[in-house]
A = this chain, B = another copy of it.
Amino acid sequence: MKTIKDVAKLAGVSPATVSRVLNNSASVRSSTRHKIEQAIKALDFRPNESARALVRQNVKTIGVVISELSEPFFAQMAASIEATAKKHNYRVLISTGSLDANKEKSAIESLIAQQCTALVVNSKVLPDHDLIQFANNNPGFVLINKYVEQIKHRCVWFDNELGGELLAKQALTKGHKSIAVVMARQKAHDSSRRLKGVRRAFDSFGQRLSLKDIYHASPDFKGGQHALTRILKSDKQYTAVLCYNDMVASGVLAQLSSLKYSVPNDMSVIGFDDVLIANYCSPKLTTIKYPIDVMAQKATDLSLSLISANESQLNANGYCYKPYAVQRQSVARV
């Protein structure tokens, strides 16, 4: 392995000067610089990042914690973080938390041990006080998809309640009266806030959402399939199904299709998130946009500016992103 000494020897200078060229840290006579650059090229030298990290006490790596990389929503988030990090010349170290508090915690800790000063964490199950403690000990710690009052300036989150409201309004404004709602089973998910928004919309339309109309399912394709089966078994004649996310909605769609129901004529279906599949299923899903791309970008920028002490432009209230409706073909007027 080539080291800075090899370069120095070949260029006939000291290692310190090579370092100066590498970092543009002090003025170096241009002839000297040239010699060094030649030597670097000749040896195909690349500085050892571990050594740099050790002496600089940080590493040009942003740590990312997510629950599950294979889910489209998170994959998109990770992709957006990676793209943003790349612009700042940072790499991305990914660790999964798998919906387990201990694993989530050790995922974060391991990234910190790797000297990641920048950290973008999508915590699903870790208690707030743990998150606050991490934030206090790590200047570059940022939460995404989560709001924690005490460290809100490090949070990039989404207005789930408004999302729920918009979700319900997609059906309510088209005259639907008998509406089923499919939410996620886990408390950890954003179900309860979305449901609150759904209720608010019902109230504003003078309608009532009964507990019986709320179905619980795992937040994926299979969950949607199962939920729809239960929905059809009920004695109510629903005309619309509000879904926790687009994967659930796809499952609902698939099940309806296999039962020869026509969407949106026999049943309207509304998704949430607007991931790729919403645009790819048939009929295309009317859904609620969760702007995860720009949120991920913001979280990355935020983390990076927090560690560069470039705090002038920080928003003390954090960053809340709003949903909006994306109307496609899965909703009919009744």
Contacts of A316 in B (CB 8 A): none
Query: Least Cβ distance of A104 to chain B in Å?
Result: 13
Contacts of A96 in B (CB 8 A): 79, 82-83, 86
- Which residue of chain B lies nearest to A83 when distances are taken between CB atoms in the complex? B96
Interface residues on A, range: 35 or more
Instruction: Quickly give the copy total for this chain.
Output: 2
Q: A70-B76, A91-B114 are in contact. Are A51 and B48 (CB under 8 A)?
A: no
- Check A113–B75 contact: CB distance below 8 A: no
Query: Least Cβ distance of A114 to chain B in Å?
Result: 5
- Check A49–B281 contact: CB distance below 8 A: no
- Annotate A253-290 by CB proximity to B: 1 below 8 A, 0 otherwise: 11001000000000000000000110111111000000
- Check B61–A50 contact: CB distance below 8 A: no
Q: Specify the main secondary structure of chain A where it touches its partner.
A: helix
A94 on the interface (CB 8 Å rule)? yes
Contacts of A284 in B (CB 8 A): 254
A221 on the interface (CB 8 Å rule)? yes
A69 on the interface (CB 8 Å rule)? yes
In the bound assembly, the distance between CA atoms of A163 and B93 in angstroms comes to 34
- Check A257–B277 contact: CB distance below 8 A: no
